[in-house]
Structure 1
Amino acid sequence: MAKYNIFVKPSAVKEIESIPRKERIRIIQKIQGLANNPRPKGYEKLTGESRYRIRQGVYRIVYSVSDKELYILVVKVGHRRDIYK
């Protein structure tokens, strides 16, 4: 299986930077893991969009996948109570 390139929207970078260090490290590792498997165990396709969601503790990572061009775009990262607003 080919490795996917990962791109993170500037707004998602700001969201990641605002998360406490310990959780931020875990989130970054989870995002890096998407390069090898863009649909890991526990992923969920979001309704009405071509986006997916994975969990990291109380945080959610929302991303889209292009299988044709082999890239992942991280769209949003945030606490579960805020992410879908």
Structure 2
Amino acid sequence: MSAYALQTAPAAERSLQRLPESAAAAIVEFMTGALLAEPHRLGKPLHAPYLGWRAARRGAYRVVYRVNEQVGVVLVTKIDHRADIYRPR
């Protein structure tokens, strides 16, 4: 059993639906398994303007998330290709 619960923002869910099926499946498996087990070890802390957020790699894609220790939640807010992840939309 993992120490954290997973929450996914609507934008991240939409991003998952647009990904190729194999990439989306790998990211979902990562988010529901390894990420929830060790969110601080797997992701790197981001710098301004994303202070407090972390990013983890999954192939050519990045998963941006925040860990809320008080309630035990990992909130995934953004999933995108590494070339596009930090570009404003």
The answer for unaligned runs of 5 or more in structure 1 is none
Deviations 1:45-72 (A, max 9, x none): 0003100000011100000001121001
In 2, Cα distance between equivalents of 1:16 and 1:39: 22
Q: Structure 1 residue 40: deviation in Å?
A: 3.1
Aligned 1:30-45 pairs, distance under 5 A: 30-32=30-32, 33-41=34-42, 43-45=43-45
Q: Structure 1 residue 3: deviation in Å?
A: 1.4
Taking structure 1 as the reference length, the TM-score comes to 0.91
Residue 67 of structure 1 pairs with residue 69 of structure 2: yes
The answer for unaligned runs of 5 or more in structure 2 is none
Partner-residue secondary structure (3-state), 2:80: strand
In 1, Cα distance between equivalents of 2:2 and 2:45: 21
In 1, Cα distance between equivalents of 2:41 and 2:27: 14
Structure with greater proportional helix content: 2
Which residue of structure 2 aligns with residue 82 of structure 1? Answer: 84
Q: Structure 1 residue 30: deviation in Å?
A: 1.1
Taking structure 2 as the reference length, the TM-score comes to 0.87
- Matched to 1:34, the amino acid is L
Identity %: 29
Pick which of 67-76 and 29-38 moved more. 29-38
Which residue of structure 1 aligns with residue 55 of structure 2? Answer: 53
In 2, Cα distance between equivalents of 1:75 and 1:19: 15
CA RMSD of aligned residues (A): 1.5
In 1, Cα distance between equivalents of 2:30 and 2:40: 11
